[in-house]
Homo-oligomer: A and B are copies of this chain.
Amino acid sequence: MKKWLKSLKTKTPQEGYELAITLSQKGVEYTQPSEAIRKKLRPKYAKDPDSLTAASQVIAINFQTVAAANNYWKDHVKFQ
């Protein structure tokens, strides 16, 4: 597979979250490399609430990794 992951560092927490989404999608892509098949699966998938929760869970796990890699962006101390 061509280069898609250069670093776990991101400038902001939100970019880190979006990187976690990419990591989650890549896990699917490596397992099912056919884009045609993945696209066909999408409609069913994206309308099943349990599938959506499961997707969010994988993102959450990857976000743990990205957040740790960025030391939780502790320089960005603006409170929510």
The answer for the CA separation of A37 and B56 in the assembled complex, in Å, is 16
Q: Which secondary structure dominates where chain A touches chain B?
A: helix
Chain B residues within an 8 Å CB radius of A8: 13, 67, 72-73
- Quick one: copies of this chain in the complex? 6
Q: Could you tell me if B47 and A37 are in contact, using CB atoms closer than 8 angstroms?
A: yes
Q: Could you tell me if A65 and B60 are in contact, using CB atoms closer than 8 angstroms?
A: yes
- Residue in A3, A38, A53 with the greatest tally of chain B CB atoms within 10 Å: A53
Q: List 15 A-B contacts (CB under 8 A).
A: A5-B12, A7-B77, A9-B80, A15-B80, A27-B57, A31-B56, A37-B46, A41-B48, A45-B49, A45-B50, A54-B57, A57-B58, A57-B61, A60-B62, A61-B61
